[in-house]
Structure 1
């Protein structure tokens, strides 16, 4: 048995080890390749990535044995972490006074030769070792030792990358829960606010009807303002709800459909008037995708092309093409255009181009953010090209599904 060896900074060292969240995790190819390479370079029987825990040494990777851990008080690696800045090289444990009181075995294999490189984190704590062992006396060449040192540094880098990935995963889980809470909040708020708003609109019309002979022009304008504001608030609530419910659209299964049929459904929903001229894609291409998500994208883009258009005759042109991996779409209108300094932020949530629409209302900056979110979830991307007072073109792609 090896006498118990405890570093003077043991509590801090153990805290650093625990913070990695790597103890008792599954084997990973990246670590196993390192121990296999260490055995090959040093021509040894056993190679380990050993982490020295409070009362055991646990092997993140092992090459040459099958056990996952051994007691710390029978661990050469626990001795190696005492001096983080230098390797522990033992040519023959039987001739070393520190370890020759009794034979050292791993799976009944006698450990005669040992070389361990401490795995030192960025704060200087030795978490364990990358070590090689053999059942006969050996020596490592300078190049072999340099290679073992380089591999040990790669192990530490992998530890840090694993921790960052774990931290990111935890953050993503928190964000997912928060988004779920926000979606539920938006749903509840929309339900609770829509009915009062509907009552305000109805009551406004009723009061105007009852008091029509008693109201002057200014009073009627106030009633109209109340009604218009209520409709604006209702639209805002709908847009917020659409944004947070866009995640659920992605869960729909892909289906095949003709693009122009989908676009004509949207035209009917938007109740387009005679002064709107829409050109559909040539050939009426067949699309296989998430139909409801793509419908929401086109509904927003076409709706914006109509709302933000100051021309007497509104013209919208929609084009489609594809390659082996993606569908490509282009929506162009002859509308107001987007100021150049707003082009880079137009897809940000609650960001607008600071222009009023055809009816004199200002947007809320939710629609295009929802569009971008949906397109990204469909595996694509979107960009905008615009000339003020002339035209705006939205180009986007979505990934094909098979």
Structure 2
């Protein structure tokens, strides 16, 4: 039996690093099997393995030509336990039957009767050798410099697959954490906004009663104070409505993709907004259908069209919607109006929650949430949104939707 298992000086840290990749005892994967198959072909060897060295065992992530019918052996039998001791160079054993380290090894003296072994360490970015990509044969062999170089390149590809797996796992974890945090924030904002509606409404009504019943008895500054209370209550009410709309929009992000007829969506959006007399909304786009979230698209168009109509200051106003398919950006839509336009100092902030480009005393002031909802929905659909505007001439909102 093969004697003793040698460990590197950083064995505990190496094992911690191995655990962090969460790859031990996972199912076979085609990407790894393709690399072991290629290693076997390039080196002309019957067997190729991706072996990871755990505390007391070696475990095979991939195996080609291995007839033992198992995915692991004890560590004391592992040639790869020697390979990881020197992460900077391969371990090549021309004939294990005459090598003092291996000639009594059960894998040499019994089935599968290993004779030739060449292992390339699988070294992480932190410098830890987790195992090896190795080739094995049943007769003495030598590898050329070119074959060893090819084996080294394949070993680096194995490690890249490890890193990719780790990155995906981190991404999934961050996504779950963000989703959980967002759900808490969404529910919290909805509950708070909903519970605040009644008291704010009561404050507004109390202000109205005071003005009607006692307005003539109050001095001028008292009347002004009542007016300020009513104005602040109105502002708070708009913000609460905005939070509720923003919270409700989050549910749209979970809608599955559907076949969407663009013209039908736009016509439905127009029906749900108030189109003033003398205003026209037309669709002149190239795109007829796409696969995406119908509800998200409806909310996007409803907000953009409604916003364009609400802030249009022309007797004859128009909203023109165009679209085309771009090789790089996917589906591209543009909503163009001939309204009042947006001041330059507000262009970068229009998508910010509660931001409004009109003054506080402007009769057209809203809750500043619609464009925030649009941006969130567009990004959820894999796209981006941008704006071009000129005061007095109008604005164009251009957004993209990923081409699935």
TM-score interval, smaller chain: 0.7 to 0.9
Quote the residue 1:319 is aligned against. Answer: 321
C-alpha distance 323-167 of structure 1, shift in aligned 2 (>3 A): closer
Which residue number corresponds to residue 380 of structure 2?
Answer: 377
Note if 1:166 corresponds to 2:169. yes
SS state at 2:191 partner = helix
- Are 2:26 and 1:22 aligned? no
Compute the displacement of 1:299 (Å): 3.0
1:58 aligned residue: 59
Q: Are the aligned partners of 2:87 and 2:121 in contact in 1 as well (CA < 8 Å)?
A: yes
Which of the residues 270, 282, 295 maps onto 1:264?
270
Report how far residue 75 of structure 1 moved: 0.6
Give the C-alpha shift of residue 158 in structure 1. 2.0
Residues 52, 365 of structure 1: CA spacing in aligned structure 2 closer, same or farther, 3 A cutoff?
Answer: farther
Report the equivalent of 2:225: 222
Match of 1:334 in 2: 338
User: Please, what TM-score do these two structures have when normalized by structure 1?
Assistant: 0.86
| 2:265 and 2:297 in contact (8 A); partners too | no
Is the CA contact (8 Å cut-off) linking 1:258 and 1:286 kept in structure 2?
Answer: no
Output the CA distance in 1 between the equivalents of 2:359 and 2:306: 14
Task: Specify whether residues 123 and 290 from structure 1 end up closer, same or farther in structure 2 by C-alpha distance, changes over 3 A only.
Answer: closer
Q: Find the residue that maps to 2:217 and give its secondary structure.
A: coil
Gaps of 5+ in 2: none
Change in Cα spacing, 1:242 to 1:61, as seen in structure 2 (3 Å) is farther
Residue correspondence of structure 1 range 198-209 to structure 2 within 5 A: 198-209=201-212
Q: 1:345 to 1:21 in 2, by over 3 A?
A: farther
Which deviates more from structure 2 when the two are superposed, residues 65-74 or residues 353-362? Answer: 353-362
Alpha-carbon shift at residue 328 of structure 1 (Å) = 5.0
Partner of 1:368: 371
Retained in 1: the 8 A contact 2:375–2:385?
yes
Deviation for aligned residue 1:399: 6.0
The 10-residue stretch of structure 1 (112-121 or 313-322) with the greater mean CA deviation from structure 2: 313-322
Describe the SS at the equivalent of 2:241: helix
Which one of 280, 283, 287 corresponds to residue 282 of structure 2?
A: 280
Task: Determine the structure 2 residue equivalent to 1:141.
Answer: 144
Q: Matches of residues 124-139 of structure 1 in structure 2 within 5 Å?
A: 124-139=127-142
**Is the 8 Å Cα contact of residues 308 and 358 (structure 1) preserved in structure 2?**
no
Query: Map of 1:58-77 to 2, 5 A cutoff?
Result: 58-65=59-66, 66-77=69-80
Partner of 2:184: 181
**Secondary structure at the counterpart of residue 236 of structure 1:** helix
Question: CA 1:297/1:224 → structure 2, altered by over 3 Å: closer, same or farther?
Answer: farther
Q: 1:252 to 1:22 in 2, by over 3 A?
A: closer
Distance 2:178 2:41 in 1: 44
3-state SS in 1 of match to 2:353? coil
Task: Report how far residue 214 of structure 1 moved.
Answer: 1.9
Moved more, 317-326 or 88-97: 317-326
Cα distance in 1, alignment partners of residues 116 and 49 from structure 2: 14
The whole-number CA distance in structure 2 between the counterparts of 1:42 and 1:264 is: 67
Asked if 1 retains the 8 angstrom alpha-carbon contact of 2:378 and 2:385, the reply is: yes
Using the alignment, how far apart are the partners of 2:346 and 2:113 within structure 1?
71
Aligned partner of 1:9 in structure 2 is 10
Shift of 1:292: 3.3
Unaligned runs of 5+ in 1: none
**Greater mean deviation of Cα atoms: 50-59 or 218-227:** 218-227
Give yes or no for the alignment of 1:116 onto 2:119: yes
Q: Please state whether the residue corresponding to 1:200 is helix, strand or coil.
A: helix
CA RMSD of aligned residues (A): 3.1
C-alpha distance 223-353 of structure 1, shift in aligned 2 (>3 A): closer
Point out the more displaced range, 27-36 or 182-191.
Answer: 27-36
Closer/same/farther in 2, CA of residues 114 and 339 from structure 1, 3 Å limit: farther
- TM-score using structure 2 length: 0.86
Alignment partners' CA distance in 2, 1:106 and 1:236: 79
Cα distance in 2 between the residues matched to 1:227 and 1:107: 92
Structure 1 distance, partners of 2:284, 2:103, is 85
